[in-house]
Amino acid sequence: NAGVMQNPRHLVRRRGQEARLRCSPMKGHSHVYWYRQLPEEGLKFMVYLQKENIIDESGMPKERFSAEFPKEGPSILRIQQVVRGDSAAYFCASSPPIPKETQYFGPGTRLLVL
Amino acid sequence: GESVGLHLPTLSVQEGDNSIINCAYSNSASDYFIWYKQESGKGPQFIIDIRSNMDKRQGQRVTVLLNKTVKHLSLQIAATQPGDSAVYFCAEATSGGSNYKLTFGKGTLLTVNP
């Protein structure tokens, strides 16, 4: 009965490189959410996806960030040309269709940009 | 700005005492509230939730109280244990169009002294 899985747990990138963060939702969950957490702050909503659809990406930076949740496989959060300000913990959450609000979080990916 | 905030950023209690963590919210349209616990290096762990048609809900050793009149939420932990030491976040959501978009406060650090 695995929970939300994320990998890698830690990721180090140099400025200008690409970062790919993966999230596998809990079994039976079809809704995925990505949040970003800066040190000593709360989580900030980034994007909400269902299979093959982006429902709301209002929290995503306009450039360099993208997310997908393909029909098969994990959800991917992609950050192109990373900058030091992208260093943060990125959390994925998933929920069943009903009730949609109950979100269960993964362990996070800690991205460090050198 | 943040619509969810916490009165106390840190709370230190003795083992066996009861703990109360408070949270204020400003969005009167919010009708779903969740408390999460986050241990160092881990993702947020769901503790308990409450909907706006209730003013109290109890779980195992935890109770959440909701006062819609003053837009206040609290988490009570009975017989606090060292394993309860963590950062506690309240989060809110609004049913309807944006019911998936959790808004988090900055968190309260609970330290339990043995």
| Cβ atoms within 10 Å of A1's Cβ, excluding its own | 4
Q: Residue A42's pLDDT is what?
A: 83
Q: Which of A6, A42, A45 sits opposite B105 (nearest CB)?
A: A42
User: Which pair of structure tokens corresponds to residue B22?
Assistant: 């408070």
Q: Chain B: residue nearest A35 by CA?
A: B102
| Cα torsion through A68, A74, A77, A78, rounded to 10 | -90
Distance CA B26, CA A31 (A): 27
- Residue in B27, B39, B92, B101 to test binding to A, most A beta-carbons within 10 Å: B101
- B41-50 pLDDT, tens digit per residue, is 899 999 999 9
Contact B102, B3 (CB under 8 A): no
Contact A55, B100 (CB under 8 A): yes
In chain A, residues with a C-beta closer than 8 Å to the C-beta of B4 are: 42
Q: Is residue A67 very low, low, confident or very high in pLDDT (cuts 50, 70, 90)?
A: very high
CB of B50 within 8 Å of a chain A CB? The answer is: no
> Among all chains, which residue has been given the structure tokens 């800690």?
A110
Is the confidence at residue B33, as pLDDT, over 80?
yes
> Among all chains, which residue has been given the structure tokens 């269960």?
A104
Chain A nearest CA to B81, separation (Å): 23
Contact: B107, A42; criterion CB under 8 Å: yes
CB of B74 within 8 Å of a chain A CB? The answer is: no
User: Which pair of structure tokens corresponds to residue B42?
Assistant: 């881990």
Mean pLDDT within B5-34: 86
Rg (CA), chain A: 13
